[in-house]
Amino acid sequence: MNSMQAEEQQRIFDGWLKSHRGLLFKVVRAYAFTPPDQEDLFQEIATQVLRSVPNFRGESAVTTWIYRVALNAAIAWTRQERKHRGGKQSVDGVEPSILQPSATSDPRVEWLYAQIRALNEIDRSLTLLMLDGFSYKEMASMLGITESYVGVKINRIKAQLTSKSKEELRHAV
Amino acid sequence: MQFEELQKVWDTQNERPVFAMDDARLSVALYQQREQRGRRIFRREFAPIYFTLPLLIFFSGFVLVAFYFKTASKMRMTDPRMTIWDGVALVIATVASIAIMVFMHAEHRRHKRTQHVFAPSLREELERGISQVDFELSLYSTPRVLTLIALVTIGAGVILWESGRLNGNSTSWGMLGYNLVLMIVSTWWGLAAKNKSVERVMQRRRALESMLAALQEGATDLER
């Protein structure tokens, strides 16, 4: 598969992008905060996914593969951005953005993303994977950590999210 | 709120994506890229020729006039005299240089006429982007690259040979040798650069085609 033709690689990538675009958007929203950053990260992830096509051997589901590549790209991008910007992401969204939040976006989803963004990079990945229904084993293999550590982390994240949502509801009332 | 409820909130994204492609902004971004690429094509593919050919035309005209007057005024009688063939060679070099410039200018203008207007829709913007890429690919075709290098080398060779004769060397084989080496190096460099450019441009073409296909598919879905 390494000798895959560029056209074939592009064709597979197009198919993946068509079917799993939502997954990429989720990762982008969890790791980049402003429209220009989201666009930049989307392009970075798309590039990495395209490059990864010849290495995909069908040993895992396509979703798992794409998630793994996308999360690695997002974590690397975040670290790089942090180095360049001293820990802060740009706040001035002056550039025209190709990606835009859908007009019908749910404020509860927005709230969830805000909570995810407040976590560190690994916890963000774990939260995304947990919410998208991956098993502890899959998460551990994707992120290179032990299953028991995943279990501990997930329990903490769940408790944190639940308590924050309750707090939010109390303030809303 | 319990975690199961949060999970349900999260899953709503699967039915309704939180992001959508903004066609108008994508169209503006593509237009800006197209403009930028247009300027780069001019800088890389046309400007060097527009700079080189007038120099060739000027030198060939200068050698022609100087050689003619030197021969007519019978200066330095030991030097080679201008023959009809010297005149013909210099005239051919000048005319050929002018012809290349006119051809390239016409080619560039024809392409620019189809490109300078902002496309009224995303689909047309994508089609213009693809047509620009095709134009760029046509500039990198092997026969075109080789023809240009060969014509410029022949022009430069004629001028070098005739300048040698103007300065008293009846045969300037050494200069022709340098010119030939220059041609070989230019051909090698030109073909290597061409292959790299083709690969880069093809990537852009595939990206634009994917977007166009996605757009067409979206339109078909809406019609259903």
Chain A residues touching residue B29 (CB < 8 angstroms): 96, 98
CA nearest to A115 within chain B? B6
pLDDT attached to residue B21: 56
Q: Please judge whether B1 and A162 are an interchain contact, meaning their C-beta atoms are less than 8 angstroms apart.
A: yes
Q: Which residues of A touch B195 (CB under 8 A)?
A: none
Residues of A in contact with B28 (CB under 8 A): 96
Q: What is the phi/psi pair of residue A58, to 5°?
A: 75, 15
Assign A2 a pLDDT band (cuts: 50, 70, 90). Answer: very low
Whether A162 and B10 lie within 8 Å, measured CB to CB: no
At B205-219, the pLDDT tens digits run: 887 887 777 777 665
Give the mean pLDDT of B149-167: 87
CB B136 within 8 A of CB B46: no
Put simply, the answer to whether A10 touches B206 (Cβ < 8 Å) is yes
pTM: 0.50
Question: Which long-range contacts does A76-81 make (Cβ < 8 Å, 24+ apart)?
Answer: A77/A31, A77/A32, A77/A40, A77/A41, A77/A44, A77/A45, A78/A31, A78/A121, A79/A121, A81/A37
* Of the candidate ranges A110-114, A141-145, B177-181, B217-221, the one whose mean pLDDT is the lowest: B217-221
The amino acid present at B98, given as its one-letter code, is I
pLDDT on residue B23: 64
pLDDT band for position B119 (50/70/90)?
Answer: low
| Rounded Cα–Cα distance for residues B157 and B89 (Å) | 10
Each residue's pLDDT tens digit, A53-86? 888 888 888 888 999 999 999 988 888 877 665 5
Neighboring chain B residues of A96 at a CB cutoff of 8 Å: 25, 28-29
pLDDT digits (tens, 9 = 90+) for A79-127: 887 766 554 444 333 333 445 555 456 678 888 888 888 888 889 999 9
Q: At B141, list the tokens.
A: 């075709």
Which of B89, B73, B95 lies closest to B165, judged by CA?
A: B89
For A3-19, letters b (16+ CB in 10 Å) and e give: eeeeeebbebbbebbee
Which pLDDT score is estimated for B217?
Answer: 66
